Amino acid sequence: MATIPSSHLCLFFLLSLSLSLSLSSSSSESPQNFIIHVSQSQKPSLFSTHHHWYSSILRSLPPSPHPAKLIYTYSSVIHGFSVRLTPTQAAALRRIPTILSVLPDQIRYLHTTHTPRFLGLAESFGLWPNSDFADDVIIGVLDTGIWPERRSFSDAGLSPVPSSWKGTCETSRDFPSSLCNKKIIGAKAFYKGYESYLGGPIDESLESKSPRDTEGHGTHTASTAAGSVVANASLFHYAQGEARGMATKARIAAYKICWSQGCFDSDILAAMDQAVADGVHVISLSVGSSGYAPQYYHDSIAIGAFGAAQNGVVVSCSAGNSGPGPYTAVNIAPWILTVGASTIDREFPADVVLGDGRVFSGVSLYSGKNLPDFKLPLVYASDVGNRYCYLGSLQPSKVQGKIVVCDRGGNARVEKGSAVKLAGGLGLILANLEDSGEELLADAHLLAATMVGQTAGDKIKEYIRLSQYPTATIEFRGTVIGTSPSAPRVASFSSRGPNHLTPEILKPDVIAPGVNILAGWTGKVGPTDLDIDPRRVEFNIISGTSMSCPHVSGIAALLRKAYPKWSPAAIKSALITTAYNVDNSGNNLQDLGTGKESNPFIHGAGHVDPNRALNPGLVYDLDDNDYLAFLCSIGYDSKQIAVFNKQPASLNICETKLARTGRLTSPGNLNYPSFSVEFGSNNDLVTYKRVVTNVGSSADAVYNVKVNAPAGVEVSVSPSKLVFSAENKTQAFEVTFVQGIGSANSASFGSIEWVDGSHIVRSPIAVKWSNELSASM
């Protein structure tokens, strides 16, 4: 007797079920969203993809005036799909043998940038209410200007402009005074250095000479740091929800320093100077040098930041986007808060489905017409023109109607899609190379496109090479929040240490959200910032340490409001010693650049934790004299130091003033909240001194030390107990690092924690052996 295939039985069952239930369906039922878990392995063979199978299942359901609408398909965390159904249709699905579960789609909290929730910030407890959302704190954003009409800069509900504010709003034809309000309290453009470079005036037909942002970057960073609450924000319905900056009541002073050809030191210093004079409390600067960080005395940002810190201003800077190579971090002066970039738990999945059924995860913000409901021919750009898909480099006869795999690098990511589209292609798979690893950046592509990691890219290209008729499609799954992949992870592009100027100072300091961040955008250019993009949006999703920096700037503003007497160094210390080093799955932080476990040379102290920073217990404080002693300790002469202390070189600050106030025998003795040690052939023992100040609620706190020694290093702390009192709010200790017998000549990591039962004051330890250091340069 012949056996009926199980797939035929499944189809017969579906058809019978549809017929038997059709009479009972009610047009009065209200549809709702459901999550459908499916036994993926039971897909009938006649369906080429799970998407086709799911669509067939939905077509078999009882009729309804509200047709079942597939929302997403899932293939990694779960297997199945989400769909909008009537209760009767949902009941019908539950009777299908291959359906494992039908669950209502519960409504969760919606946060567009999502980073406040990811960071643990809440209306009812922690740093937000304890700082009154940084009301009256002024953040100076030095960037490309601001697009003031955006809802993110509404001043609804704000108190009057702080009486301490001394700045003004610069007015012009496209920036009337009415555009400033109680949120944007200052705006000024700095272009003289730029015009000097040009040898003439700015071409105002191409870029605005006013504070108006015609590029988008400044609007994004300003709204990330201190944007007001905006409901129903999104980019093409991606990341839809409520958008808000870190410090929603903080005031913004926008200083435009960057132009189409770059940001000039003269303009940057002028803006920093003006910002301090105007009375800002925090400077947010997502700008830095290219290549290795220059010597501090050659670094205008470091010099300007020193002066700002002298005036009590916190200076928060991006670490740079030159990762994953070592020694790439910039803005690494110890008086600067240096911020690297990490991911959050929100993805925009767009998966590649190959003709052989394999699925590779990707990401995309594409919002246009869907690809045909069948797989398309697949080609590698190297075989049809140029692997990087430069404009005009692809052969239309070999691209027409196909999906093209292009390698990342060489030109703008979205521009590659334009090249494919101009050649007649229908889709793009953007494949990472080794330097980008598994880092995935979502882009608002101009045609159906997705980005995949290096591993997936290599396998897709291998499939093309070995298959006679390679085909593929791309499935776009919208916005997904969850624990897979884990977060945070350090971005591949995030610049990292070791500190090539001063190995004894660990940089970057911390990491913060900087991948696929949604915030306000200019009305002048499209979301890709390319001339070929005609679209205009209110919000945009972009990535970079430029995005992580304003997150920390906003958090610093919250701490400034909560503790107005704290120094910039104390605020930095609170952020460093409360940072965390595990992801939301409980594992150690991972580095997307290497695919391996991250370490303090990559992520500094770890990921910022705003609520814990509100109550750090102890802080490592510093002032400008400490920083001058640091400059002396690294061998700077009086002339080099003069640019920082603004005193004649003849005074010889290292031999006069510091002889009275204290010298540092080593730059590692700077009272920094982290420990970076370099062993060399002539030194196998290093001792650092530190002083901590009790800022906790208990004046009589007692802290005991816990040492997590790096492999190959013996670490001792003296004393091992710190006893504070109302009279003795500060305590000193020494840490001795000894190279162990048979130590490997490589980097090693650990930590020192001071614990009192309520606080864990954690400082990372990074150890480097100098012969390995020099070999890597």
Q: Closest Cα to residue 365, out of 311, 331, 414?
A: 414
Mean pLDDT of 719-729: 96
pLDDT for 695 equals 97
pLDDT for 73 equals 67
Task: Report strand pairing: 138-143 vs 251-256.
Answer: parallel
**Could you identify the residue written with the tokens 């800077």?**
317
pLDDT for 762 equals 98
Specify the higher pLDDT residue, 344 or 435: 344
165's tokens: 């504010």
The tens digit of pLDDT for each residue in 667-682 reads 999 999 999 999 987 7
Mean pLDDT of 208-232: 95
275's tokens: 């910002």
Mean pLDDT of 564-593: 96
Mean pLDDT of 320-348: 95
The pLDDT-based confidence of 219 (bands split at 50, 70, 90) is very high
Specify the higher pLDDT residue, 534 or 22: 534
User: What is the DSSP secondary-structure string of 642-700?
Assistant: HHHH-S-GGG-TTTTHHHHH---SSGGGS--SSEEEEEBTTBSEEEEEEEEEE-SS-TT
The tens digit of pLDDT for each residue in 732-767 reads 999 999 998 766 568 999 999 999 999 999 999 999
CA distance 154 to 362: 36
Q: The pTM is what? A: 0.83
The tens digit of pLDDT for each residue in 451-476 reads 999 999 999 999 999 999 999 999 99
CA distance 629 to 625: 6
CA distance 347 to 554: 24
Specify the higher pLDDT residue, 64 or 549: 549
Residues annotated as catalytic (active site), given as ranges: 143, 217, 546
Q: Closest Cα to residue 606, out of 618, 590, 594?
A: 590
Phi/psi of residue 652, nearest 5 degrees: 50, 70
The pLDDT-based confidence of 5 (bands split at 50, 70, 90) is very low
45's tokens: 């063979």
Which has the minimum average pLDDT: 202-211, 603-612, 701-710?
202-211
Q: Closest Cα to residue 360, out of 456, 448, 491?
A: 456
The pLDDT-based confidence of 109 (bands split at 50, 70, 90) is very low
The enclosing H or E element of 6 equals helix 6-22
Torsion sign over Cα 213, 218, 222, 228: positive
CA distance 505 to 492: 22
Mean pLDDT of 309-337: 95
Mean pLDDT of 613-629: 96
Q: What percent of the chain is modeled with pLDDT above 70?
A: 90
Q: What percent of the chain is modeled with pLDDT above 90?
A: 67
pLDDT for 171 equals 92
pLDDT for 3 equals 37
The tens digit of pLDDT for each residue in 465-513 reads 999 999 999 999 999 988 878 999 999 999 999 999 999 999 999 999 9
CA distance 275 to 531: 33
Mean pLDDT of 40-52: 80
CA distance 652 to 578: 38
pLDDT for 484 equals 79
What's at 214, amino acid-wise? T
**pLDDT at 174 exceeding the cut of 80:** yes
The tens digit of pLDDT for each residue in 526-557 reads 998 888 889 999 999 999 999 999 999 999 99
Specify the higher pLDDT residue, 227 or 65: 227
Question: Residue 580 has what DSSP assignment?
Answer: B
Angle, CA 733 vertex, CA 729 and CA 735 arms, to 5°: 150
CA distance 76 to 669: 49
Taking all residues of the chain, what is their mean pLDDT, rounded to a whole number? 88
Which residues pair with residue 512 across a beta bridge?
A: 341
Angle, CA 46 vertex, CA 41 and CA 52 arms, to 5°: 75
- Say what angle helices 545-562 and 568-577 make with each other, to 10 degrees: 110
CA distance 348 to 7: 33
The tens digit of pLDDT for each residue in 397-421 reads 999 999 999 999 999 899 999 999 9
Mean pLDDT of 86-102: 83
Cα 51 versus chain centre, distance: 32
pLDDT for 37 equals 61
Torsion sign over Cα 385, 386, 389, 391: negative
- Say what angle helices 265-278 and 300-310 make with each other, to 10 degrees: 10
